[in-house]
Amino acid sequence: MNIGFNVIEKNEYIGKIFDKRMSIIKFIQGILNEGKLPSNFAVYGIDNLLYYAEDQDYISKYIRNLLQDKANYLIRNSYIVQIIIDGKLEVIGSSDRPKIQYKDKELLLYPIFGRVKQIDLKHFIAPLNLSS
């Protein structure tokens, strides 16, 4: 698995999901505080957070801005982050903009991670520096 944000669909991913796991909220708190995070870890709940958000666009922009602001911190620590998706990752149109089908909603990853690179059918990667 490569350094960066590895977005994978939980039910279809053939590889190993990291043993060290945290919620999206704990992940955001860890980045805000620039605390020591494990080098390889899985983050759960981004689809749930977006699904229940009153303003999905605001939450997506908040997460993206935070990740961009803390890019040096993320790169300095060479994190390998698995973003575990409980919904269905779908490629409709362009493979660099997958969508999540979660419960009865379609959720967009592009506003958070920008264009991603498809590694496997249900595995995409975004760099730690989202500005590039």
**pLDDT score for 95:** 83
Across the range 59-66, mean pLDDT stands at: 96
**pLDDT score for 131:** 77
**pLDDT score for 13:** 80
Confidence bin at 36 (pLDDT 50/70/90): confident
69-117 pLDDT, tens digit each: 999 999 999 999 999 999 999 988 788 889 999 999 999 999 999 999 9
Residue 132, pLDDT above cutoff 70:
no
Across the range 54-74, mean pLDDT stands at: 95
Domain-wise residue ranges, the chain: 1-87
Give me the chain's average pLDDT, please: 93
Indicate the Cα dihedral angle 62, 110, 56, 88, nearest 10°: -130
Detail the DSSP E strand segments found in 2-104. 4-9, 21-23, 40-44, 80-85, 88-90, 99-102
Across the range 43-72, mean pLDDT stands at: 96
